[in-house]
Amino acid sequence: MTEATLPAITIGLVSVSDRASSGVYQDEGLPALREWLQAALCNPVQFEQRLIPDEQPLIESTLKELADERGCCLVLTTGGTGPSPRDVTPEATLAVADRVMPGFGEQMRQVSLHYVPTAILSRQVGVTRGSCLVLNLPGRPKSIRETLEGVRADDGQVLVHGVFASVPYCIELMGGPYIETRPEYVTAFRPKKK
């Protein structure tokens, strides 16, 4: 499939932060997600962006809206995955899930452990809702990029795959659109056809 024939896709971006949503400081999660996706994806993309506080019912209703009403094939959240009492993004995500995809959370922590020992404190999860994949990402722009792209050696060789390498094929298996990536960011893995 050529870049010109790739289907347009809709991706939901949700930044969960009490302080950013109330204007105490500038949200960095949404711009970081949008910038990375625009650079890494070959498909034309429409974004549905939300900046909301750490309130579980609101997170749940936002995820439902994006998956069920806005037609997102992918929803990426940022923030609210740590151990503090207000961090409820994983609980909200699990509450609206049809299926849990534990490998995504495991891989995110594996990638992050290459950079910081506190990665074990992250409670990120991946789930499906209908034909939408929902992934909880870290809150910091640098961590978002590392989690999506993975760990590379100085020569550019991939040492640990980022989670986005599996996203296009997962969405395809769920009946979603064909998504292609630019290999300088991440290579979408698909099994070789026999």
Task: Give tens-digit pLDDT for 25-42.
Answer: 888 999 999 999 999 999
CATH architecture under which domain 3-173 falls:
3-Layer(aba) Sandwich (3.40)
* CA 139 vs CA 13, 45, 136, 163: distances in Å: 12, 22, 9, 16
- Residues 99-135 have pLDDT tens digits of 999 999 999 999 999 999 999 999 999 999 999 999 9
146-174 pLDDT, tens digit each: 999 999 999 988 899 999 999 999 999 99
Residue 22, pLDDT score: 77
CB count, 10 Å around CB of 45? Answer: 15
Residue 168 token pair: 């296009």
Provide the pLDDT confidence category of residue 85 given band limits of 50, 70 and 90: very high
In the chain, what are the domain boundaries? 3-173
* R_g over Cα of the chain: 16
